[in-house]
């Protein structure tokens, strides 16, 4: 499987949104446990317009992963190194797509002089981030009715 990762463009928004929604629905059972209210709160802002806003946001950085031209992953980070989203399509999970998205975000952030990446991890993704150099930072916080674990990774400048 050949994964390509590149900066997201505006016309990636609809397909990326589908990846995000399917990933939440099918991969994040440890977080939502099938609770309809939690899912509704989590999914209600996951619209193509929301993703378009992330792609268009000035100074922010978003990346899309494709396999054979099909969108299979999306990640986004703010100019200060806050990773806002990182989602992989259920059909290609555990095959290196998340790692490739994270590497692209990390490379961009390091070149931009960002000192550290931060995020609030789902339960589902915690081991993934630990294996990719992140460490927990402080107690869990609640968002969308699910527990997010603050995590941080120190970067080396690649200016």
Ligand X SMILES: CC(C)(COP(=O)(O)OP(=O)(O)OC[C@H]1O[C@@H](n2cnc3c(N)ncnc32)[C@H](O)[C@@H]1OP(=O)(O)O)[C@@H](O)C(=O)NCCC(=O)NCCS
Residues contributing to the site for ligand X (CB under 6 A):
23, 27-28, 86-88, 93-99, 119, 121-122, 124-125, 127-128, 131
How far the first Cα of the chain sits from its last, in Å, is 31
Q: List phi, psi (to 5°) of 16.
A: -65, -40
Give CA–CA dist 36/21, Å, rounded: 14
To the nearest whole angstrom, how small is the minimum distance from the Cβ of residue 48 to ligand X?
A: 18
CB 140 within 8 A of CB 123: no
Q: Which residue is nearest to ligand X (CB)?
A: 98
Residues 6 or more apart from 121 whose CB is under 8 A from it? Answer: 129, 134, 148, 149, 150, 151
- Pick between residue 35 and residue 113 the one whose CB is nearest to ligand X: 35
- Pick between residue 99 and residue 108 the one whose CB is nearest to ligand X: 99
């Amino acid at each position: 499987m050949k994964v390509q990762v590149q900066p997201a463009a505006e016309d990636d928004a609809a397909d990326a949104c589908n990846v995000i929604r399917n990933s939440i629905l099918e991969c994040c059972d440890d977080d939502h446990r099938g609770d309809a209210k939690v899912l509704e709160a989590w999914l209600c802002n996951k619209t193509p317009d929301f993703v378009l806003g992330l792609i268009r946001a000035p100074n922010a950085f978003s990346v899309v992963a494709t396999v054979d031209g099909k969108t299979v992953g999306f990640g986004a980070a703010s100019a200060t190194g806050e990773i806002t989203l990182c989602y992989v399509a259920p059909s290609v999970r555990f095959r290196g797509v998340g790692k490739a998205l994270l590497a692209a975000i990390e490379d961009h952030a390091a070149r931009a002089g960002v000192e550290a990446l931060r995020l609030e991890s789902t339960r589902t993704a915690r081991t993934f981030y630990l294996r990719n150099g992140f460490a927990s930072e402080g107690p869990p916080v609640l968002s969308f009715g699910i527990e997010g674990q603050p995590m941080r990774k120190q970067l080396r400048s690649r200016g």
